Amino acid sequence: MSEFERKLAQLQADLNTQGARVSDQLMKAVESSFEGDTQTAQLVVDQDEIIDRVDVEIERACIELLRIGVTDEHAIRSVLTIVKVNNELERIADCAAGIAESSAKQEHLGASAPPTFRVMANSVVGMVRDTNTALAESNTELAVRVLSFDDTVNRFRKEIVLDVQRRTSNGLLDPLIAFDLLTVTRKLERIADYCTNVCEQVIYLNTGKIVRHLPDGWTDPETPSF
């Protein structure tokens, strides 16, 4: 195994560990909103700095790896994919911290939410879990399934927004709780978007197919010519 291959394998392992760490943070943030667990919510906020630190470490390691001077297209693509995925994971963690911040402020956030809120939150948690698996296993089929679920999450968001707006206008929901519910819902939607970004990178790495710029949405990836 060459020096590049050894360091790339370590970077991929570090990225998978970071993905698991981010997934755990999101799970805790979501559960804290369901249960009104302000202590766990604050723990998620406090631990976000660990993810930020690892994010910087992985990015710096990618720069050092590219300095080795490899010219193989797939090798370079692998490093660039790590850089992009690393950035998306950090954004997911930021959203998880934002969800936890809202949960820490509003002990009754989950109890005041419509039933769709729990369904949406659990769905997004599942998207993050499947995204990590697709990344770790280079599973293009699983990545495609994550992409296909993004529209469902968007529909959940619209249902929640309409419910919150209706109950707030009728005086049935505290405006402050409504604000935090909408904030959390928006962050869940963003996490779903970040998951699709990661899965697009999984497809790109394993097939060479760039899917994010297609005007008609995703199509079957093509086998690269190299």
Compute the distance between CA of residue 106 and CA of residue 111 in angstroms, rounded to an integer. 10
- List CB contacts of 72: < 8 A, sequence separation 6 or more: none
Compute the distance between CA of residue 93 and CA of residue 195 in angstroms, rounded to an integer. 12
pLDDT of residue 207: 82
The residue to which tokens 């093509």 are assigned:
222
Name the pTM for this structure: 0.90
Residue 14's alpha-carbon distances to 8, 59, 115, 136, 173, in angstroms, are: 10, 11, 37, 11, 44
Residues 120-147 have a mean pLDDT of 95
62-71, 96-105, 150-159: least confident range: 62-71
pLDDT of residue 108: 83
Tell me: domain 3-207, CATH 3.40.630.30, correct?
no
Are 103 and 41 a contacting pair, CB within 8 Å? yes
Q: Say yes or no to pLDDT of 196 above 90.
A: yes
Residues 6-23 have a mean pLDDT of 96
pLDDT, tens digit (0-9, with 9 covering 90-100), for 147-175? 989 899 999 999 999 999 999 999 999 99
Q: Say yes or no to pLDDT of 103 above 70.
A: yes
Q: Which spans in 36-174 are helix H?
A: 38-66, 73-105, 109-112, 115-137, 140-169
Distance linking the first and last C-alpha atoms of the chain: 22
